[in-house]
């Protein structure tokens, strides 16, 4: 077991980890942060997307021990502590960008990265979110939500 200390959504976490454990399993199984979803567990679907030091990663492919000393943000850390949704979360609701919602946490985390990277055109957004699959086919709403917030941040 490897002693590991990381920050998760602003709080310090100290755990002893099996080096084979994924960041996704640490978040869901040990820390109870089940907003991050396990879709394929093979790097194919994007449902497990979180941010590590501000960059998006697929947590199913990331060994949890690699997060030692780093800052992890999950979907639970996106809204304000008072419960006010992040503008991108609100935009997903406003643009009807989800149906079952299983892919949505990953879509939001990738959308936030897309906006931070300065992508606001539809084709750029589609390319940036191409690793996030939605079986419900809510892509039109997802692109509209990201575009909406990206353009508001530009102006
Ligand atoms: Fe990680 Fe599908 S669960 S990419
Ligand atoms: Fe159902 Fe995307 S909303 S998979």
Q: State pLDDT tens for residues 41-87.
A: 999 999 999 999 999 999 999 999 999 999 999 999 999 999 999 99
Q: Are 33 and 50 in contact (CB under 8 A)?
A: no
Q: Are 13 and 31 in contact (CB under 8 A)?
A: yes
- CB contact burial 58-87 (16+ within 10 A = b; e otherwise): bbbebbbbebeebebbbbbbbeeeeeeebb
Mutate to test the pocket of ligand 1, among 22, 42, 74, 104 (most ligand atoms within 8 A of CB): 42
Quote the percentage of the chain above a pLDDT of 90.
97
- All structural domains of the chain with their residue ranges: 2-77, 87-154
Non-local (6+) Cβ contacts of 61 within 8 A are 22, 42, 43
Q: What is the 129 CA–ligand 1 centroid distance (Å)? A: 14
pLDDT, residue 91, reads: 98
Q: Which CATH number fits domain 87-154: 3.90.870.10, 3.20.20.70, 3.40.1530.20, 1.10.150.120?
A: 1.10.150.120
Give pLDDT tens digits for 114-125. Answer: 999 999 899 999
Residue 155 has pLDDT above 80, yes or no: no
Give the torsion through C-alpha atoms of 104, 107, 108, 111, to 10 deg: -160
| pTM, two decimal places | 0.96
Give the torsion through C-alpha atoms of 79, 55, 151, 97, to 10 deg: -60
pLDDT, residue 107, reads: 98
Domain 2-77 matching CATH 3.10.20.30: the answer reads yes
pLDDT, residue 78, reads: 98
Residues whose beta carbon lies within 6 Å of some atom of ligand 2: 98-104, 134-136, 138
Reading the block at residue 38, the tokens are 């396990």
Reading the block at residue 140, the tokens are 């039109």
Q: Which of 45, 38, 145, 142 is nearest to 99 (CA)?
A: 142
């Amino acid at each position: 077991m490897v002693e590991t200390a990381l920050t998760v959504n602003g709080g310090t976490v100290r755990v002893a980890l099996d080096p084979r454990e994924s960041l996704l399993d640490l978040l869901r199984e040990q820390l109870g942060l089940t907003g991050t979803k396990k879709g394929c567990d093979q790097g194919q679907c994007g449902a497990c997307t979180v941010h590590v030091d501000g960059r998006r990663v697929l947590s199913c492919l990331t060994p949890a021990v690699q997060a030692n000393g780093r800052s992890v943000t999950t979907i639970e850390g996106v809204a304000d502590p008072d419960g006010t949704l992040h503008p991108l979360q609100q935009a997903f609701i406003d643009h009807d960008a989800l149906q079952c919602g299983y892919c949505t946490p990953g879509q939001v985390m990738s959308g936030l990265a897309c906006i931070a990277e300065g992508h606001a055109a539809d084709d750029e957004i589609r390319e940036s979110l191409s690793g996030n699959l939605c079986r419900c086919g809510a892509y039109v709403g997802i692109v509209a939500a990201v575009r909406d917030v990206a353009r508001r941040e530009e102006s």
